[in-house]
Structure 1
């Protein structure tokens, strides 16, 4: 029990998960009240965390693997205090806890793995309420060593070296091959000697410092994160020696296409040359042999030759050839250098196709000269009349037409165009004539000859003539307004468009005097209203049909009382 001032009591020794009836009585000198309370399960105020995402395995080495995972979407209302990391091999059923200390990060490197073994991992999140459900197991974490390459091929030899090339193994073990181990041994020997101290990522290598006239075998192994794979089959025994052969010329694939060069730039044609005896190399343009000149230089070494042309101009275009020749034979290669290109010519002044209040549609013709390189796009610039600084409307126009938008109505603008090719920008073209940003039409004039045809107690029939000036656009509506004679506010009578020159104003008050006026409307808006009518009273008038009846009666009476003069000239 507790006193009346506390109104709080901690109930202990409950069992989690069981449901208890908790009741409270109030007590005084006379006795106890009726109980108050509801059944309530005894449990923590928060839940265990949700399940983490499946861990991803990366950075696998022969004895470790790095795991990364996403935190569970729900922490159960209490911060996660630890992640339990478990692992098992593919052949085991039992999970083994990895971490002894608490982990709150979502990344962990698992040490102490056995090389060649396949592992699975899972993660469980913990908070004050306890451990949640474990994640789904990771995919298998294992890299294999690469397969064995095919036997390397002997590409060339000298008295003290042998050059090898090979193809990568068909199986990389699931990890990138970052090195090849090249080994050699004397033919008939047992011990293989590693030839490369540094990493060899390419599939070719030259073994040096060999003994002349000694037979050697060579083999290659691939290496990835899992280690060095099995060695290839050895080559056939080969003896380092000079091999006499005709010249060979090789060069980059990009030189196999015609060379498009910029006027004034530097162009280099470079080839690899081999052959024994050492070939002599000559360069030609057409049939003329080249030598060093003011803008051309030739450099030839044991295994390459290059022709460099500086400040290249149109006279440097043509077909170039290189000839390598020795006592065994010769080789030739040809290269085409096109006329050098430059910036395009400047476009003419743009033509204005359409002017609106906030936009101008422009069109122009391409420049007469594209500089030898196709025009890729145009830049459109503009400025207000009298301004010095040009603004860029766009740099990405592929065609010869563009609409400049977001102009200010009433401002005068001039426009110009710049052409671009792969070299760069042309000079700006001539500016356009000043263009006033406005609609191509004006407001219509005042309607004419507004007349009151007839009236009733509640309506007036009006007619009028269209304005002499329609503002350059079709009049599609007339706005009919009226006001009381002594009033100030004009009221629109027609809620929908009135395209004709006649309208009946309805809903008037009997015997009230009104004035009327009409304004014309086109695309530019509503023009000025015509002069208002004289005040007219809304009342019934004798219509024209009654006047016609009177006229007929008078004509009939006149007929009855008319006569003709008697024949013979006698009157009365």
Structure 2
């Protein structure tokens, strides 16, 4: 079933991300199958693997995603066979006792490495007895991977028709199905288009079922509705009315009886019977029946799943050519289908190009453009079946680099002014502006563009040419500016001279004679009266930097006898000492002002949760780094639940401390806190949110803290988990120690220890140390578990002890060539020294490898030989203490043959044998001997005795008149010897005095004319199924067999296969058709005569029981 497409979304030519199929199927299941409810059905698919490198994988799916392999059992059975000759895999899926819920769309999908193929088919289930009205939703169910039944989505097929609102009367709601039932078939397509029904085939099937007249029910007055629709998570009530108020009813779900529970509530009120389903889930989307005796009424409940919405919208992007772009969204459900569009064109993943990439990570969906170009600029859309978002991509050319900027010029009258700049791109054009007005060429003003250079030439400069000149490249957000200053020479007369004087107004913002306080963000305007003749020159400066700007945020405005210093929107950086200096030829005057900027404080820092309780939490923070120039009066606190956007105030009066205990919180819920700082100016920005914390009590202390081991510098501790852990869980443990008498505890582990054991290292030798262990979870530290007494850090002397494994306490036997690898554990403190000896001498390291550790010794021989046999002794020493253990190793091999095998006596049909043991017993005890005899005529050997323990035996039941030879094998734990030893003499069994005179032999004449001992039998077979006819014949010499059809010799026709097995004649006919019927005969011929038999073969056409 295709994914639902938004109403205003453009239609794509193909399914996004579709896989090109490779045609692996040789045989596919039929596309449409109709099966009767309760019957069995088998689907077969065959795959040709001759061109595949590995075995193909087959999946049977229902709907789009439900893998039926996990549902194998009594209802579904799967079978796989392989034909080695044709290399064809045959896959079968058998459905036993089909139920109505099995109806829907199915798909078989085969894949092998990078090739795949799929085949879809649909199953329709017809009821054996249609007593009730069919459900209008059974053909429109939705597929869901979490359910056993694949279903189609009715909500996506029936789109809501937009209603036009009328001011006086609303348009009545139209029942589409009633309209279809009463309409002529020629108008079905028109109605489906008008009301948004896209599945025409499903609509026609549903109409056919709806037109079936239900039988009259004697048990029900009012049956259940044909269908019910409910939203996921809501409650639904199914109600019907029965004839008998005392009758008992049963409620069934998909044929299974429903038991009363908190979810399913069944009620009887008079004649009314109701079934209430609470908190519906997708599993409740099923067929329900109310049964009274043999009568029943049914309905279907459709659970609407909320549409997939977009929780995180797409952002706009502004990039330059070649940059990577990632449009990211988040949806409400994992595995949702998202369609991406550029303008009106749907975007697909192209295997040949890597420009576009589509990425899914849980609920996140990302569309990636590897290298953006100018053609990629535009609007991008993302659609789901319940939401839409869009983002605009703007792509601009790469930045233009300025190789040479424009320089300021100062020229005199009638001089030439030349502005020149150089940019990185020769093709870039541009325009010149003077004070924001475009400069047009004239006889006096000329503009040139040569390569990367742009020039503006002004001849015969005049005072009106002075100003700001700007060059703006076309198509780039870039401008180059310079100033043209006109130098005018004037001749001044010498007027009357008075020294300059500054007259400051100390009222208003001035808190003292030279300090002015300004609130950040406000405007400061300081008007200073200036006197002096001639008019003095005024210079404002901050520190050593003069302020010359006439425009901007910080500027100086000059009027007659008045100098104005202006700061628009005062900032913290404006604070400092400012100097005004006035000069003229008669003298100078100077004044120093300190401008203080006060502001709201910075937000507090390091908001931390130091401890929690069951319904409270203790929060601490650091004061703001900058108090805004005014003392901090206190703080305001807010909290919110994690994931929420709503903050709740915790105090309305200013709180002065930096530690606060928040109360009345809900246990087990994550919270976040933030803090505001307050001074006389106002409220700061909020601090960063604290890390999420959960009001919950810490765990109880760890239990059974014990010392496991102590060395000269380490101590191994073990403990058990706390008895009470709580909902906050357990993150780990902190191990601390301190010397006896000290109060300062040292943390032994940097990271939390998750195991219930730890080795504390780096401890001083001989000191007495106290240890404690604290459990830590999200609520903080628990009470410590402390050892009852301090531990002395000193190695405990322990006698050496070799723990020899049980299997090495007896003789250790191995065969020649075997590998010997023995691990001998031991114990002792301090670390013992292990030494090995063989037969009292130190072992040769060239023959035996030994590796010692602190806890065991490894004895290794790569390939055992006979000379490795012996007694090995391991000596374990600690100072003057030692322990010893011995291992007896024997390396064995097969023995040699026995010696001096001889026949000592012969009597009757018996012979007595004796022999000597072998020279080489293979380093193992001889466990027995195997004796064999052979007739001198045939030379075939037969075993007389095996596992014979004695070096002698008596061979009986010898045949009179034969001569026998004997041989003997020796045997040990490795087996029989490689070579036997033959007896030196033989045993002759003489004949007795009787003489047998046999009758003269007369050879029997076997010649016989052909004669059929079993005739052919008339057959009636089904066309298309291979068959065979058989008979039996005798005759000598072997007769020649001729098969005929209608008196015509069959010959070498490949359709027929003729076999002759010891006189049993068989004619196999492969997949006969009606033309293969007729009279078949078989004739046997030899030199003595012939014989013939015949039969009639009737081939009939197979009939379909469903059509009957």
TM-score normalized with structure 1 length: 0.35
Higher relative contact order (CA 8 A, sep 6+): 1
